[in-house]
Amino acid sequence: MSRAAVLTGVGSCLPPRAVPNDELAAGLDSSGEWIRSRTGIEQRYFAEQGTATSDLAVGAGERALKSAGVSTVDTVLVATTTPDRPCPATAPVVAARLGMRGTAAYDVSAVCTGFVYGLATAAGLIAAGVADRVLVIGAETFSTLLDPEDRSTAVIFGDGAGAVVLRSGDPAEPGALGPFDLGSDGDGEDLITVPAGGSRQRLSGLAPAAGEQYFAMSGKEVFRHAVLRMTGSARTVLDRAGWRARDVDHLVSHQANLRITNHVADDLGIPRARCVSNIAEVGNTAAASIPLALDQAHTEGVLRPGGRTLLTAFGGGLTWGSAVLTWPDLDPARA
């Protein structure tokens, strides 16, 4: 019998410091209302000094494990663009702090598509019999990469972590993930990037130019690619699943920008009212955005058992990916 990855727990963790638009706008020749109107964001959370990505990942992982009613898994995957250190990976640290020393653990790097890539990787491990249960975490401290004087990026991103527990199960049962669609286009590597710090820059023989240590993004091109790639990928998984757009109860896209989410929904023919969105409260949290949205929507009762749910994401690389599942009946007492 084929083995599917079944979602059985969900959790999230945000740092305590909320940063409203007005706090950032003061130093950017902007206004809180301008930020909201352009992005849909009203606030985001920034990690305080002394906090690392692993701290948020552990918090989200603990909650997801509690939601699933388990204390251990066979593999821990952490999707992140902001690891604690360039070396080693952050996932083994997270696994150890969760009491799982000896458990397989590694990072997944696909920027904002990282969580969907992580889900697909976990599903593959389960299908192959390598693991029976996997913890997939998306965790970011993107504030560490931002140029505080760059209005195009400083107001968009926030910090946070979200996680799910997947177990081996039947492909026909609620919570079973799949089909998946994944893609990439390395010709767009410069559209979403941190230019300095890697081997390309270090072996160039040149010192980093001013500002190259910060995250940079080509906004208009990214907007176009995000809509195009998420829409195309979503259509692919809908076709593979035998679903029509009108069958989708909830679209959970990467929380990049509210206008992007609306464009994707419109192009797919999914009513905007069916879009799960928390970008107003947390901003763009990169690899953490989809699991954060899932946990909030589950906690608030938006995601209900039996609801047909479409996940889609786009990020640097360029990368993109989508998946579908029927939302399971998670225990609200443990969530």
Half-sphere exposure of 2 (CA within 13 A, CB side): 11
- Give the mean model confidence (pLDDT) for residues 257-265: 96
Domains 4-169 and 176-327 share a fold: yes
**How confident is the model over 82-122, as pLDDT tens digits?**
999 999 999 999 999 999 999 999 999 999 999 999 999 99
pLDDT at position 145 is 96
pLDDT at position 31 is 87
Strands (DSSP E) along the chain, which ranges? Answer: 4-13, 17-20, 43-46, 75-79, 104-108, 133-141, 159-169, 180-184, 192-193, 216-217, 250-253, 308-315, 319-326
319 touches 113 (CB < 8 A): yes
- The CATH architecture that domain 4-169 belongs to is 3-Layer(aba) Sandwich (3.40)
- Cα–Cα distances (Å) from 212 to 150, 195, 204, 209, in that order, read 12, 5, 14, 6
Token pair, residue 41, equals 């964001």
Query: At residue 310, what is the residue type?
Result: L
State which fold the 176-327 domain adopts: Peroxisomal Thiolase; Chain A, domain 1 (3.40.47)
For the question of whether the overall pTM of this predicted structure is more than 0.85, the answer is: yes
CA torsion 266-112-27-195 (nearest 10°) is -130
Return d(Cα 83, Cα 189) in angstroms, integer. Answer: 19
Catalytic positions are 112, 254, 284
Neighbours of 189 (CB within 10 A): 13
pLDDT at position 38 is 87
Domain residue ranges in the chain:
4-169, 176-327
**How confident is the model over 282-306, as pLDDT tens digits?**
999 999 999 999 999 999 999 999 9
Return d(Cα 195, Cα 201) in angstroms, integer. Answer: 7
Spell out the alpha helix ranges (H) of 242-282: 258-268, 279-282
